[in-house]
Structure 1
Amino acid sequence: MTTPPTPPATADEPALRADAERNRERIIDAARRLYAREGLGVSMAAVAREAGVGNATLARRFPTREDLIAAVFADRMDGYVAAVDTALADSDPWAGFAGFIHAVCAMQAADRGFADVLTMTFPAAKPLEARRTQAYNGVLELIARAKNSGHLRADFTDEDIVILLMANAGVINATGDAAPNAWQRLVGHMLRSYATPSTDPGPLPPAPTPRELYRAMVRLTRPSKN
């Protein structure tokens, strides 16, 4: 039995593929804007509206929320891995460790969605989780190097970094643009608590002003737009 020949491509197919790719990019760009501004609590319907596409079009491109999150944050997770690699390349174990903490917390501050991604897991998003695992293994090495150098407390664990990222995400989500540098104060205090008594953790960043904190507290009373 002979196999039926494949029907020839029609003139419309390249245009349809190009249109589908444009819709995909519009959806990713829209989700990136919304997640960065409002966090991962944004609904799929809100993403569709921001992108100017129908819910059905969004569902065809990204059947699940995890599919969309994986596409939006692939480059951010690459940056996370790069931050670990940069820290490991530092010849000073404490400077590498502290530099990593600053870098990853700054990444959270720059993107509220990524602040959430770093404190959550997405089992179905395998490429995203593979990059997270790669970064995690590097972080374990960073911790071991800093401890062996005598600068990082012996009782520090990798779970403490998860706690820090959760706390930092909370500060970022609470303060927003009302006190945009508050997270730096948190990180400064935490690094002081991680360092051994003989280690100089550097100067403590300035605290938010009373006006900034008041604005942040007022901001928390406003209803969510999601």
Structure 2
Amino acid sequence: MSVRADTAAKKPLRADAERNRKRIVEAARELFALRGIDITLDDVADHAKVGVGTVYRRFSCKEELIDGVFEQRLEEMIVFAEEALTATDPWEGLVIFLDRLCEGMSADRGLGEVVLGTDEGCEGIAQVRERLEPFVDKIVLRAKASGQLRADVEVNDIFPLIGMVSTGAEFTSAVDAGNWRRYFTVVLDGLRSEPGAATALPGRALTGAELDSAKAAMHRRRR
């Protein structure tokens, strides 16, 4: 066989390999969003409808796949942070960034776990996070310097608060996927330096039956 013929014969294989890789990443993105990052490569293979060996040929471990799915999402957060720092009002800049972050986490359980988790084994995510952290510092300190953010709030308080909103979003997701904004608003009012500046709460409190449904859904997800 000629070199040209041999090269032509290999092209469909490379194209097929790339299609499989995209299917794997898309399947992982869907599973991470729904179930979080505590899934296996076998789960991904099953969801992508490819063999387990195909997944392992593209990604030697789950951490590589997490990098492949979430590195770009964290890059988007840097863009959000840059936009927040251009806001004329430092408080609005803080709200813009936190809103974008919580919105993404409320729709994607895996993203929340990546944002609030460690970077162990995920080199790409670790590098992006290292670039993101100075932006977060600037956003928080800028709002604090303006006198609108409580003087006793520190930068490291922000992520536990985001975790609270993320947990609320997960809890209410089976009943009302957008009701996380109600609890986000409570958190924002707690961050304000001005006493009595409470904001009207969006959404609504869940009914007793809806609370039962939310608890049951949370129990099923964590079994």
Query: C-alpha separation between the residues in 1 aligned to 2:120 and 2:112?
Result: 18
2:63 alignment counterpart: 66
Moved over 6 A (4+): none
1:207 alignment counterpart: 204
Which string of whole-angstrom CA distances, capped at 9 and with x for unpartnered residues, describes residues 149-188 of structure 1? 1001111112211102222232233332323233212211
Give 1:209 shift.
2.3
Identity %: 33
Give 1:201 shift.
5.9
Conservation of the 8 A alpha-carbon contact between 2:170 and 2:218: no
1:104 alignment counterpart: 101
Which string of whole-angstrom CA distances, capped at 9 and with x for unpartnered residues, describes residues 175-216 of structure 1? 323232332122111111111026846432233321432320
Query: C-alpha separation between the residues in 1 aligned to 2:79 and 2:90?
Result: 17
1:18 alignment counterpart: 15
Match of 2:128 among 101, 108, 131: 131
1:171 alignment counterpart: 168
Give 1:127 shift.
2.3
SS of 1:166's partner is helix
2:140 alignment counterpart: 143
- How many equivalent pairs are there? 219
Q: TM-score with structure 2 length normalisation?
A: 0.89
Give 1:78 shift.
1.8
Conservation of the 8 A alpha-carbon contact between 1:151 and 1:199: no
Query: C-alpha separation between the residues in 1 aligned to 2:34 and 2:219?
Result: 17
Query: C-alpha separation between the residues in 2 aligned to 1:201 and 1:50?
Result: 45
Give 1:224 shift.
5.2
Give the RMSD, CA atoms, in angstroms.
Answer: 2.1
List gaps (5 residues or longer) in structure 1.
1-6
Conservation of the 8 A alpha-carbon contact between 2:141 and 2:155: no
The 1:159–1:111 alpha-carbon spacing in structure 2 relative to 1, beyond 3 Å, is same
Q: TM-score with structure 1 length normalisation?
A: 0.88
2:42 alignment counterpart: 45
SS of 1:118's partner is helix
Of 199-208 and 148-157, more deviation after overlay is shown by 199-208
Of 181-190 and 29-38, more deviation after overlay is shown by 181-190
The 1:99–1:170 alpha-carbon spacing in structure 2 relative to 1, beyond 3 Å, is same
Match of 2:52 among 37, 51, 55: 55
Conservation of the 8 A alpha-carbon contact between 2:35 and 2:221: no
